[in-house]
Amino acid sequence: MKLMHELRSFFTPAHKKPVEEHLIRDSTTRRLIEDAENLLVRISENKPKNTNVIKRKQREWSIKVKLKQQMIHVIMTDSKHSTAPIKKRFTIICYRKYVKANDGVGVCKEASIHYLKDGRSHTRSIKDSPLFQTLFYRIHYLDSVLSNEISTITESPKSLLQHQEQLLKTSDHNQLHVLIDEAKRYKQLLAKFQVDPSIEHRLARILEHSSMLVEDFAMLDFEERHTVRRMLREDIPSLLHSYISLSTKHRLEQQENVYLTLFKMELTLIDYKEKIEKERVARMDQLFKLQSMRYDRKK
């Protein structure tokens, strides 16, 4: 299986190979992507003409959205003042759904990153990167608005939250840091629904404790790792989606139960963190004994 994957990767053209996630997961790049998402939301709210060019320029980056009869272009470029480790340009081009569609959304013609590394120019694909899935969703939503398929965006926050929940549940990424990133984006969208601050704080604590497990996640056993992934991927989104779907009266009635459930999840993560720390101490003691046997001089 590994050999087949390596062979497939070898014969895949460079520009179609997926970008290495660590190249785009710095805070500056994530803020750039979020800024582009917010720009697309504002464009959807204003419902511009079908042909238009909207630009947004910040100190560290620039964003250009081109609305054409047949395609939507989104171009994001780091400026010379960018604090990102690698300067880059993202290019996303999607067909309008009435031109070329797949499963009801416009086909993505190009989704690439261009960057310089070690003095060489590189092009890689961002089409399947988890970091860009919400951006693609907002492009497709904008397409629907421009096509007059959506007359208002009053449901937009809820539909975005449902979309982010679906991303978490269907994600085939088992890497903990990827799931945490998606869960953080879910939390940001949740802020639009006037959730009680105590619940938001509990969720923030869960994400904080989850982040502390990333480095030594492999030290947990299979069942424990599965529990953490399931918590982020399924349990939390399902719980909170059900909660915000309730009427105001029933939300108040269920608020304590939601809080206690999240608190139990947090305690589970704390237990795992303490287990890892104990294993670290045990390993250190073992090393001390081993080194003592090797290097203690006989008297």
pLDDT tens column, 101-110: 887 889 999 9
Same domain? For 117 and 197 the reply is no
The predicted model gives 52-63 an average pLDDT of: 94
Q: Which residue among 153, 172, 203 closes a domain?
A: 153
Q: How sure is the predictor about 298, in pLDDT bands with cuts at 50, 70 and 90? A: low
Same domain? For 167 and 122 the reply is no
Q: Please, is 148 exposed, middle or buried when counting C-beta atoms within 10 Å of its C-beta (0-12, 13-18, 19+)?
A: exposed
The predicted model gives 43-68 an average pLDDT of: 88
Is the overall model pTM greater than 0.85, yes or no?
Answer: no
Q: Is residue 294 part of a domain?
A: no
Number of domains in the chain: 2
Who wins on pLDDT, 247 or 173?
247
Who wins on pLDDT, 236 or 147?
236
Same domain? For 163 and 146 the reply is no
Strand order through the sheet with 88-95:
52-57, 61-67, 71-78, 88-95, 108-117, 120-125
What 3-state DSSP class applies to 24? coil
Q: How sure is the predictor about 153, in pLDDT bands with cuts at 50, 70 and 90? A: very low
At CB < 8 A and 24+ separation, what contacts does 119-122 make? 122/14
Per mean pLDDT, which range of 106-110, 146-150, 278-282 is the poorest? Answer: 146-150
Q: Which residue among 89, 123, 153 closes a domain?
A: 153
Same domain? For 53 and 168 the reply is no
The predicted model gives 38-64 an average pLDDT of: 88
Residue 126 near residue 90, CB atoms below 8 Å:
yes
Q: How sure is the predictor about 164, in pLDDT bands with cuts at 50, 70 and 90? A: low
Q: Is residue 198 part of a domain?
A: yes
Same domain? For 120 and 182 the reply is no
Same domain? For 119 and 202 the reply is no
Q: How far is the C-alpha of 222 from the C-alpha of 231, rounded, in Å?
A: 14
Q: Is residue 298 part of a domain?
A: no
* Closest CA relative to residue 61, chosen from 39, 43, 88, 42: 88
pLDDT at 5 over 50: no
Q: Which domain holds residue 214?
A: 158-289
Per mean pLDDT, which range of 35-49, 165-179, 268-282 is the poorest? Answer: 165-179
* Closest CA relative to residue 183, chosen from 200, 159, 158: 200
The predicted model gives 20-36 an average pLDDT of: 90
Same domain? For 219 and 119 the reply is no
Percent pLDDT > 70 in the chain is: 86
